[in-house]
Structure formats: C-alpha cells, structure tokens
A and B are shown apart, each in its own frame.
Chain A
Amino acid sequence: MTLKKMKRLIAWELEEYWSSPVLEFVVFAAVIAALNLPVRTINFEERYLNFGSSMAFIFVFLIFTTGSLFARSFAGSLNKGEMKIMLSYPLDRTSVFVSKFVSSFLMLSVVFAAVYSLNIPLLALDLSEPMFYVSLAAMVMQLFFLCTVATAISLATRNEIVTFLAHVLFFFGTEALVGGQKLLSSNGRYEILSNYFLKIFHGLTFSLDVSSEEVALAVIIPLLASALLFVGSLLYFNRVMEID
C-alpha cells in the first residue's frame, strides 16, 4: 500500500462525490435539522436536554445518509463494475478499500459537521463547555460504527438498494429489539455518556444513574465492534472477495 496512490484514489473518489449535489444535500440536511431544534433556551439544563434530543435526531438522519453514501461507494461500484475497472489498475486492494472508506467518511463528516454546528447558534451552546466536545466525540464514535456496518453490509450484498435497506433495518431493528438494554442501543450509549459527563462537569442528574463501568462499556462496545467490522471487511475484500 503506497500512501501516494492512496491519496490519488481519495482525490478520485472525492472528485466523484463533488460532482454529486453535495452542497444542496448539506443545506437540505441542515434545514431539516434546524426545523427539529426547539426555540433557543437560556436554562443550561434545558439546553442540554434539547441538545440530547437533537443528537438523537441527527443520529437517525446519519443512519440514512451513511447507508446511502457507503452503499454507493462500495456496493454500487461493485455492482456497476466501477470497482472492477479500479482493480484493473496497479492499485492494491487495501489502498482501494481504505480510500473508499476514508473518502465516504470525509463526505459524511462534512454533512455531520454542517448539521452539528447548527446547534451552536440555535441552542446558544458555549464552545468552552466540555459537554460540547464530549457529545462531539460520542457522535463521531457512533458515526464510525455506522460506517463500518454499512461497509460490511455493502461487501456482503454487493447491491446498493439492499445495502441501504439492510443498513437502516439493522439500526432501527437493533433499537427496537434491545429494549431496555441501553449498552446495546446506539441512543442508549449516547444517553449513558451524556448523563455521566453532565453529572461530572456540571453536576446535573437526569433520570439515568450511570456507573463508570457502564461508561467504559459504552465506549468499548462500539469501538470494538467498529474495529472488528473494519478489519473483517478489509480482510475479506483483500484476501477473499472475487470481482467479476
């Protein structure tokens, strides 16, 4: 894997993305997110309650966005034959996989950043407050998890529409199935983290009483699952997957 070729591949991918209506998509996403936000509040506690519900909305929005972007990048290019063309050039499979993942992740980050940053003026968030960054880190972690799930499904199905549907069903299905087990639910894990750190930093306590072990698990579970999915997908793509 050469870094130089990987950079070129990322440039190729981003150039392709840039031709799609990215800016329009970002504006659309931001407008939808803004419509969901409540009227500006002054009270700190209310502000972070609103912020939490805003994150839940953004997460749902990201499930759809990740599904469509990664389905296009992996399953779509496998299905349409673009991957075959790319792998007919002197590019190793690791570079192709990593560059596709990175470029899609970057695109998704642009969309996420646009929507997330809307919270600052609309909820009158203070950038010096640690909760803003805790929340950001938690969301980026969730985002990475979404991306690895979408990649794995893409490689398994090789079909854009099936990937999108399976991805969406996986997350909504998981949320519905796990019930009260917050550690297994994406929203639940976010809730654990925000409750814990709101208590640590600001002395606020909401309904959930969270232990530090639960916090550790809320971080380890998605990171471990993401790492396993990423490495598994990469190994499958690199060593096993046939392109025809």
Chain B
Amino acid sequence: MNEINLKVPRGITGFVGPNGAGKTTTINIILGLLKPDSGQALVFGLDSWTQSTEIRQKVGVLHEEAVFPKSFTGQRFLEHVAQFYDVQQPKQRAKELLSKVGLSEAGGKQIKGYSAGMLRRLGLAQALVGDPEFVVLDEPTANIDPSGRLAVLETVRQLNESRGTSFLVSSHILPELEKICSWLAIINKGRIVDQGSVEDLASKYSANVYRIEVSDPAVFLERICEAEFVEKAWVDGDKVYCKVKDPNSLYREMPRIVADLGLMLKSFQYLHSTLEEIYKEASAAG
C-alpha cells in the first residue's frame, strides 16, 4: 500500500476495489491491528498504531471473517462486548441490538447454532454496541439471503439518518452500495484510485449516454449519427441512445435537428452511471 489518503466524511462511504486491492489491509491499519511499514496512519487525528485503543472506543467494526465465541449465547456475547465499551446497562443494550438486527428470538441460543446470515447480523450488532461515531463494515451482506441483505442495508441507512453514525462499507456488491452510499472510495493495487461524492464521480466518469424518444427514431438516428459530437448512437425499441463526446453540443444542437426533420420530441433523459460503471471507469483510468 502506498500513500493512502482515505477521506471518510459523515454519512455512508462505499469502499470498493478488486480482491487483493488492499481494502481489508486498510481497515486493519485503521484499527491498529497492522502497523504501517513507514509513516503513520491517522484516524480522528490519532495515530492508529500507538493510540489504537482510543480510536477503537469510537469505532465499531464487523470483520469479513468474524469469529465469535461459539459457546456463548448471542445475548451473553453482546453483554460482554457492551461491558468492554463501558455501556451502563449491558443487558438492556444487548436486547435492544438483537431486536434491531432481527435476532430477538435467537438471543438465547448458543452462537454455534447460528446460520451464516445470523452470524453476520450478530456481527453488525456487536459493531454497534458501543454506539460508535464511526462503523467499519467489511462485506456486511456476505452470506445473507436477499431479504436479510435488505434488512442490513436498511439498518445502516436508519442508523445514519437517526443517530448520524458514519459508515465505511467495503463490499463487492456494488448495486447494494449504490442504494446507501453518498461517498465512494475506490482502491486498486494498494492505492486510492479516486474518491468523492457519488454524484461527482458519476459525472466525472460518466458514460455520457442519453436516451431520446422521438416520433421517428430511424430518421433521427440517421441524422444524429452524422453529428461530430456524437460518438455512437443506436436504436433500442422506439428510443434512440446517444453516447456523446460533448454533452453541451447535444443540448444546443438536438432541438434544431428535431425541428429540421419535423419530428416531435417526446422525451429526453440523461442516463446516470451506475456504481459499477463508475468503478470500471475509475479503475481503468487509475
């Protein structure tokens, strides 16, 4: 890893990158589990190696491969963790969190009897025990069924909205991240390729594709293909899709073309880049 400068603003930050890019290593450095080979890592202005206990007081974490004591019940485990964070009423807090992650009924069961999905939810609960300012989730929805995934994402969103908890969510499932993230950091080969608000990155790495619905798509396609600002155009169904080099020219020229051809413009829409497209473009550019 080299000169990592990961900015995590308040809100939900997606942390994406291919396998081996350095996501988990970055998380481990943040938590003071790994020592940077040189230089220092600062979290909340504190050195992650020498002041890691202070950092971890403010941070909750769910590791990718979290191993919890199998002989404990979910309730008892959370009570122990709550005590580590000096929570005043550990029993109450454990109950509250089990309910939040949908494990109320399984709270009295030993962890060894939990399914993979239940373990992820318990992991989310233990990350939230200390009511942290900042929560790191490494693949939080791995091994969870679709409804469970939605529930986890919803919990994250609710916590961010109601308590202002900030999250750093590392995941490979980009469509899921897209639903909750406001900020994105892309890592590849041990360095941050790009980071910024999802909107800014979307416009930066935009594919500049527009969907245009006119009364005669075939005639419009023939004419628009001749325009210099158009890179590529095609028809799909009754709509024309245009990938443009210069969006300003499209805005200026298109009404004139439509009028010249005597067509009727029914709709005109800019197609936003998905997180997957942003990730691909940014990785290629980086």
Contact = CB atoms under 8 A, between A and B. Distances in A.
A46 interface: no
Interface string A90-111: 1110000000000000000000
Contacts of A82: 67-69
A5 B82 CA distance: 11
A90 B84 contact: yes
A12 B56 contact: no
B103 interface: no
Interface residues of A, number: 23
Contacts of A11: 80
Contacts of B67: 80-82, 84-85
B69 A16 contact: yes
Interface string A1-30: 000010011011001100110000000000
Interface in B79-105: 80-81, 83-85
Interface stretch (B30-38, B165-173, B184-192, B201-209): B30-38
Interface in B1-37: 24-25, 28, 31-35
Interface stretch (B57-65, B148-156, B210-218, B260-268): B57-65
A244 B53 contact: no
A201 interface: no
B83 to A, nearest CB: 5
B40 interface: no
Nearest to A92: B53
B63 A19 contact: no
Contacts, number: 67
Contacts of A81: 63, 65-67
Contacts of A80: 67
A19 to B, nearest CB: 3
- Chain B's interface size range is 20 to 34
Interface centre among B35, B65, B67 (most CB of A within 10 A): B67
A181 interface: no
Interface in A21-72: none
Interface string A135-152: 000000000000000000
Contacts of A92: 53
B74 interface: no
A242 B28 CA distance: 9
21 contacts: A9-B84, A11-B80, A12-B80, A15-B72, A15-B76, A16-B69, A19-B71, A19-B72, A20-B71, A81-B66, A85-B66, A85-B67, A87-B31, A87-B32, A89-B56, A89-B81, A89-B85, A90-B57, A90-B84, A242-B34, A244-B34
Interface of A: 5, 8-9, 11-12, 15-16, 19-20, 80-82, 84-85, 87-92, 242-244
Given A90-B85, A243-B34, 15 more contacts: A15-B71, A16-B69, A81-B67, A82-B69, A84-B33, A85-B66, A87-B32, A88-B33, A88-B61, A91-B84, A242-B33, A242-B34, A244-B24, A244-B25, A244-B28
7 smallest CB-CB distances across A and B, nearest first, come from A19-B71, A90-B57, A81-B67, A243-B33, A90-B56, A89-B84, A88-B61
